[in-house]
Amino acid sequence: MIIAEIESQIRYVTNVDGETTDVLVPVELCQQLMSSINSDNISGLAWIDEQEPKAQILAELQESVRQAAVGQTFPVSELWDDI
């Protein structure tokens, strides 16, 4: 979505002195903007995932490899239960 399209959907709220105090954004546009803010364009990961310590990522990967090596696997449906 280009800036002109975004600007055309935004409405400004002013006080009695004519000062802009708030912005009204349609829900769909707000959701799109929040989604783009919360994810990295290159990796596609959410901001919170980008901030996860590398040591934690490595530990989780090592544990997954260990589980796979001993044949401990899970159905895909079960993997999504915690999300």
Using DSSP's 3-state secondary structure scheme, residue 83 falls into coil
pTM of the predicted structure, to 2 decimals? 0.43
What are the residue boundaries of the structural domains of the chain, listed by start? 3-71
Burial 49-78, CB ≥16 within 10 A → b, else e: eeeeeeeeeeeeeeeeeeeeeeeeeeeeee
Whole-number Å distance between alpha carbons of 83 and 80: 6
Per-residue pLDDT of 15-66, as tens digits, reads 999 999 999 999 999 888 877 776 766 666 666 676 778 888 899 889 989 9
Which residues, including other chains, have CB under 8 Å from residue 38's CB and lie 6 or more apart? 46, 47, 48
